[in-house]
Structure formats: C-alpha cells, structure tokens
Amino acid sequence: MKKLAICCIWSLTAFLVLQPSAFAQKLYAYKNADGRLVITDKPVEKSKKRKYKLVDTFVPKTVRAKEAAQVRARRSKGKSLSHEQLEGLVFPIAKSMSVDPDLVYAVIQVESAANIKALSSKGAIGLMQLMPFTAERFGVTNPWDPRQNIRGGISYLRYLLSYFEGDVDLVLAAYNAGENAVDKYGGIPPYKETKRYVKKVRRYYEQKSHPYDNTAKRKSKLVARKSEERKQARLASAE
C-alpha cells in the first residue's frame, strides 16, 4: 500500500500546527504533479498553476459566523495535528486493516480538517467525526482520544468497504448517512449534505473502487442486486 506524503506550504507556519484562532480567512488545497496534497493560505502563483491542481477551498472557524456555519464540523479550541502526527497515527492503523491511508486522510480532511477537538452540531466527535453509537459499535471507549478515534473510523470504513464490496461512493455515502440509508435509496441518499460530502471527499480521493475483505457478516442488498444484474447481462450477451 503506497504511503501518502502530505506537503503543507505556508507563508509563515504549517496549517495543521496552527491553533484555530490563527487560521487564515480562506485555505486552498492543491495536488501537485506527484499527486501529493498541498494546503496553503494563498493561491498558487500563475507561473506554477501547471504544476498544481486546485481541488478544494474551505473556510476555517475565525471567519464571521455566517461563513463558519457552512463548515460542517465546529472547531472548538484545541490543537490540530501536524501532518507528521496525523500520518504517524493513520498509516500503521490503516495498513493493519488493509485500508488505503489516502482514503482515510481524505475523510479526515473533510470531516474535521485534522482538528482533534472538532464537534459537529449533531454530536459527531473528533478527527473522524464518530457518532457516539458508532464509537461504541467499533469498541471506542474514548472518541476524543485521537488514536482511538482514528482506529474506530478506519474500522468503520473497513466494514463499509466489505459491506459495499469496495464501491467508494457508496462507502462515503454510508459513512455520512449510514449504510441503511444507502440500501433504502438504492445508492447515494437524496440528502444535500450527503451528496456534498461524497463530492468533497472524492476531490481528495479519486479511486472509484477499493480492495475489500469479509469484515461484514452480511452484504448490501443493493450490491447483491447489482451483481445479479451484471451476471444476467453477461448471460444474455452470451446467448
């Protein structure tokens, strides 16, 4: 599994090390020619635009309340992990569970921007924004602990990858809205938040499919139906 290298370029200090009170008005996320994620408080110079592709912009906590309300996770006072700290926590856990670290980094970026004290209006906690019932489901006793939070979030991703047989879009939709909602609607639920969430994470993680194991004791009925439809289509074309 390839190890993700995250490069943070700042005019003064690395983004993830800053306290929320020091955040810039607007942040820019780019991918360079090597596919590495670069986060900066200033747009890339025109002369370098060929080397960097803009994938997202986002607004930190210290902007006015109207703008901050658009940010999903509320940033309470507390530190954000540096990219070295985040990588040190994510990579060994993701590797041990056969989950692509790049997928985990993408989820963390959208969920909390690496803020260990992030708390959503719905009660989702920490780096991977675990709901209390999800934390309990995957054996997390303290969701505010970064290591436990990451382990719980990756465990959930691993389960969803198995449940949806590696379909990344369905996995992300389920991480946001729950696997039952995805099954109920036969795909990404028609929720604005969920659609927006999937789109944001996919800006950072472009793979459509992901290897999976048999972590889930049962499989999604949606995936089973699609598999059967493909099977019938192959049989029909062979006749």
Helix ranges (DSSP H) in 2-47: none
Instruction: Answer yes or no: 179 catalytic.
Output: no
| Maximum Cα–Cα distance across the chain | 66
Q: Are the C-beta atoms of residues 59 and 71 closer than 8 Å to each other?
A: yes
Task: Compute the Cα dihedral for 158, 160, 161, 165 and give only its sign.
Answer: positive
- Report the chain's C-alpha Rg in angstroms: 19
Give every CB contact of residue 46 below 8 A, 6+ residues apart in sequence. Answer: none
Q: Are the C-beta atoms of residues 129 and 177 closer than 8 Å to each other?
A: no
Q: In the numeric block, which tokens belong to residue 63?
A: 């902007």
- Enclosing H/E stretch for 85: helix 83-96
- What is the rounded (10 degree) CA torsion for 211, 216, 218, 222? -50
Of 67, 84, 87, 111, the catalytic one is 111
| Active-site annotation, residues | 111
